[in-house]
Amino acid sequence: MIFLRYETFRGYLRMYPVTALIVAINIVMFIITMLNGGSEDGYTLYRFGAFLQTEDDPFGLDEPWRYVTAIFLHAGFMHLFYNLISLIIFAPPLERLLGHVRYGLFFIVTGVVGNLFSALFHHGEVLSVGASGAIYGVYGAFLFLSVFGKHRLDEGSRKTVYSILIFGLIYSFLVPTINIWAHVGGGIAGFVLYGWFERKQLRR
């Protein structure tokens, strides 16, 4: 099972520095928002980089950097907690597979695509934050491996990937505050992008 973590804290930092950095940034930004109005306050989240769609700017292109900054913000402690647990457990094997630089690029791109899907399928004024799109990008990468690289994943890991995706998508549809389209977009982006990395590696 590749998703079991046995590393010491110091070993984790050494082996997965990009994942550790992403986790640290999210924690720091959560503390900053808590000290400046609250992590569940819409205006505070907007000030610190939440992704915003409006009737006049449905794709958030007036301030495009929000596609990235929103990935590192969370609305409430439980939102942060569940996303960080997912990152800490599931992201390290992908960082090892892709390498630190490509993994960092992968994380940002899938998070941005998640926000893009949100913009495409939501209408009106929508404020969204969270690393969920990028986390579903990680799941999408492992779904690609589960389908096209079964010899590289043990059965337990494949079953874990399928279970998490099925449960996650059902839960996303049931809870109205969850941005389901960010999850779908991030997952599709992760599946496609990891497949592209694999084909590029094979050509080499």
Residue numbers annotated as active site: 132, 183
Instruction: Please give the radius of gyration of the chain, using alpha carbons only, rounded to the nearest integer.
Output: 17
Distance from C-alpha of 152 to C-alpha of 99, rounded to nearest angstrom: 17
In whole angstroms, give the CA distance from residue 13 to residue 20: 6
Q: What is the DSSP string of 103-163?
A: HHHHHHHHHHHHHHHHHHH--S-EEE--SHHHHHHHHHHHHHHHHH-GGGS-HHHHHHHHH
Nearest to 143 by CA among 204, 178, 194: 194
